[in-house]
Structure 1
Amino acid sequence: MTTPPRLEVLNLTRAFDGAPVVDNVSFQVQAGQVACLLGPSGCGKSTTLRMIAGVDMQDSGQIFVDGKLICDTDFRVPPERRAIGLMFQDFALFPHLAVRDNVAFGLAGGFKANRDRVTELLDRVHMSAHIDSFPHELSGGEQQRVALARALAPRPRVLLMDEPFSGLDERLRDGIRDETLALLKEEGTAVLLVTHEPHEAMRMADQILLMRKGNIVQQGAPYNLYNAPVDRLAAGFFSDINVLDGTVQGALTDTPFGQFLTPGMPEGAQVDIVIRPQHLKLDFDRAGQGPAPTVENGTAARAKVTRARYLGRESLVEFATDQGNITLNATVPGVFLPPAGTPMWLMLRRDRVFVFPRV
């Protein structure tokens, strides 16, 4: 017998004043899996989360937990009985309760009746020493750990997390995210995380649900979304991109890097050829008019440096191509700061390039 997904959402829709905010959204999250609703502000991520939590009502669609219907337009399990935990960016700890009582808040009988569960979770989030402290005595990172322990205390089947790390200093985020992920995996909780930060989604998620204007435009493993984006906007959401525009002529499109095959595109169609900065390789054109270097499965374009900046782990070099004076950016590991006007060859492999119809 097939085990049902821990969380299943089918054809969920929600509109405000006649304008669709969530439009026919469907997905599944398995036990122990972290799924991420990723997209820009206003795309419908938090509204989707609120409907699953039960604090907002969908216009149509169904929500299941472990194969059991918890909500449709006729039937609705109250939020407190859905076995769904919530964790938000402001942590929402009760300022008048000590850490132990915050963690025990959702448990019948409070701290005395649930001492073992509370102390176990505080130990696992490295907060045992603060069991009698109050929220105002804790740092942001410590409050986040307490909020996580409180969310997990009732053993929810599903945990919903809405931008839970955005209030933390950047230097704290990576460590706390990793600790949080490890604990959630141990608990076997299905996690639905909302964020607008691609780096956070790539770091935490087993699957990413990329949202735009109320729709899921692409979903899958982070590797697949990054390396096989569905369109130009999806490619640009995960990293900076260079875009060459062109017109299809005889299934080919002319660029400074030569002609690109654009099979399946109609004659005269406008296309965008997308290149990530890290996929451009550089070589000095010392003679200024030297022969183009040989590139495996690709071609080279002559260009001149317009600006170079050091960004810490890498350098960003901006170019203008000799053909068409097109601006392109390349990233180079470490320090690489050629002066403006330096002639160089830009090289790329065609299998690292995306071609999309222009929209």
Structure 2
Amino acid sequence: MNSQLEVHKVTVRYGAFTAVEDVSLTLEKGQIGCLLGPSGCGKTTLLRAIAGFERVAEGSIALHGSVLSTPRQQVAAEQRKVGMVFQDFALFPHLNVRRNIAFGLSHLDRRARRARVEEMLALVSLDDYAQAYPHELSGGQQQRVALARALAPNPEILLLDEPFSSLDSELREQLAGEVRELLKQNGVTAILVTHDQHEAFAMADRVSLLHRGRIAQSDTPYNLYHNPANEFVAEFIGHGSMVSATVDAAGELSQGLGSLDRSHGHWEPGEHLRLLVRPDDVEYEENSRTRLRVVGKAFRGASYFYDLLLPDGQRVPCLTPSHIDVPLGGELPIRFNLQHVVVFAPPREPTAD
């Protein structure tokens, strides 16, 4: 089966600066992808290259089998069947909702244009707001107008550049889920750009995490979280702490972390490991002999988020029910549950035959 989108070994440069380097990814029809990463990692540059706003220095970009970009060939952005939803929605303030959606449909006759607009209004549940202007709408409603306008010309792929960033955090995740459902119901292929892993996980089938212009890992959200390819991926996705530990003669880890089960591999005494310890790896246990000093805490309604100090000064996070209220400087009794902890180890020296 031919891919709907194929990005092959793409490099984008601005003079001597390389913004995107040797990036490859594919999307099948109806699949939702995500370019995730910190500011400056190249994700928006790559999206703009797919849209036709940036030229590629190396590699190629093809949509539904048609090559759009190579170093020698550049199909103009307006000639690509690509829909785009921008960070600020880019709605026309002087046009009402109906006319905003109709803006890209000038190639249709009046009857077909009206029918398509009505279809889009129904799709995003804005039938009652057709005559409203952007300033009269909530942020979520404006986002849906921008989505309807981008989908109205029936693009082969939809590109979304941080479309939820101007909304509050609860609404962002909710809308990401709603947009995913809408796109899936209509078989739309799409790519989302975001720095927020919660948006990425709520919306995408496959996430490509970028670091310094390269893909650090491209995988399902589940695998990114549970099987990170390297420490950068683990720290960006993890919401945990990287902790250094040493294996002792009994197979126990230093810092009172306990032991790793065999699913993590076999470690020799004296080996140095790096562990991504997440809040769910550190459990409150009232009668535990392991007690760690509280050096930070944040109330989250149903829970407290604690920052705990290990004997050597490293820190680990812990989440408890909010009725477990230990003051700063106090000690929290805990146990380490390392069943799902992520472990990194330096490469071993090859042994002689």
Superposition TM-score tier, normalisation by shorter sequence: 0.7 to 0.9
1:301-316 correspondence runs (5 A): 301-316=290-305
Contact residue 37 and residue 211 of structure 2 kept, 8 A: yes
Matched, 1:83 2:85: no
Which residue pairs with 1:222 in the alignment?
Answer: 221
Instruction: Classify 1:244/1:72 alpha carbon distance in 2 versus 1 (closer, same or farther; 3 Å).
Output: same
Rate the CA distance shift 1:241–1:115 in 2: closer, same or farther, 3 A: same
1:279 corresponds to which residue? 281
Deviation at 1:175, TM superposition (A): 3.5
Which deviations, in whole Å up to 9, do the C-alpha atoms of 1:35-61 show, x marking residues without a partner? Answer: 110000000000000000001101011
Q: State the partner residue of 1:352.
A: 340
| Pairing 1:177-326 to 2, within 5 Å after superposition | 177-246=176-245, 254-258=254-258, 271-285=273-287, 301-321=290-310, 323-326=311-314
Which letter does structure 1 place at the counterpart of 2:236? F
1:297 corresponds in structure 2 to none
TM-score, length of structure 1 as denominator length: 0.86
- Residues of 2 paired with 1:344 and 1:5: CA distance? 53
Q: CA offset at residue 214 of structure 1?
A: 0.4
CA RMSD of aligned residues (A): 2.7
Structure-1 residue corresponding to 2:19: 21
- Structure 2 counterpart of 1:183, which letter? L
State the secondary structure of the residue aligned to 2:122: helix
Partners of 1:131 and 1:178 lie apart in 2 by 24
Aligned 1:101-112 pairs, distance under 5 A: 101-107=99-105, 108-109=107-108, 112=111
In the alignment, the residues of structure 1 paired with residue 248 and residue 292 of structure 2 have an alpha-carbon distance, to the nearest angstrom, of 25
Q: What does 1:106-121 correspond to in 2, within 5 Å?
A: 106-107=104-105, 108-109=107-108, 112-121=111-120
8 Å Cα contact 2:277-2:317 kept in structure 1: no
Structure 1 residue matching 2:339: 3-state secondary structure: helix
Quick one: which amino acid aligns to residue 141 of structure 1? G
Asked if 1:12 is matched to 2:10, the reply is yes
Conserved? CA contact 2:11–2:58, under 8 Å:
yes
Give the Å deviation of 1:320: 2.9
2:140: which partner in 1?
141
Measured in 2, the distance between the counterparts of 1:21 and 1:269 equals 38
Of stretches 154-163 and 95-104 in structure 1, the one that deviates more from structure 2 is 95-104
* Distance in 2 separating the partners of 1:179 and 1:258: 42
AA matched with 2:286: F
Q: Which whole-Å CA distance do the structure 2 matches of 1:282 and 1:259 have between them?
A: 18
* Residue matched to 1:41: 39
> 1:306: how far off?
4.3
Residues 309, 141 of structure 1: CA spacing in aligned structure 2 closer, same or farther, 3 A cutoff?
A: closer
**2:282 is aligned with what amino acid?**
L
Is residue 329 from structure 1 mapped to residue 324 from structure 2 by the alignment?
no
Deviations 1:129-186 (A, max 9, x none): 2222222332222211111110000111100000001112334333332332222112
**1:192 Cα shift?**
0.5
Question: Once the two structures are aligned, what percentage of the paired residues are identical?
Answer: 38
CA distance in 2 between partners of 1:325 and 1:64 (Å): 51
Paired residues for 1:56-71 under 5 Å: 56-71=54-69
Q: Secondary structure at the match of 1:119?
A: helix
- Structure 1's 110 and 216: CA in aligned 2 closer, same or farther, altered over 3 A? farther
Q: What TM-score do the two structures reach when normalised by structure 2? A: 0.87
Long gaps (5+) in structure 2: 348-353
- Once the two structures are superposed, residues 249-274 of structure 1 have per-residue CA deviations (whole angstroms, 9 ceiling, x without a partner) of 88966332246588688997754222
Farther off after superposition, 261-270 or 20-29:
261-270
Counterpart secondary structure, 2:68: strand
Gap change, CA 1:271 and 1:13, over 3 Å in 2: same
Take 1:95 and 1:121, find their aligned partners in 2: how far apart are those partners?
19
Specify the SS of the correspondent of 1:316: strand
Opposite residue 318 of structure 1, the aligned amino acid is: D
Residue of structure 2 in register with 1:173 after alignment: 172
Counterpart residue type for residue 327 of structure 1: R
- Count residues with an aligned counterpart: 343
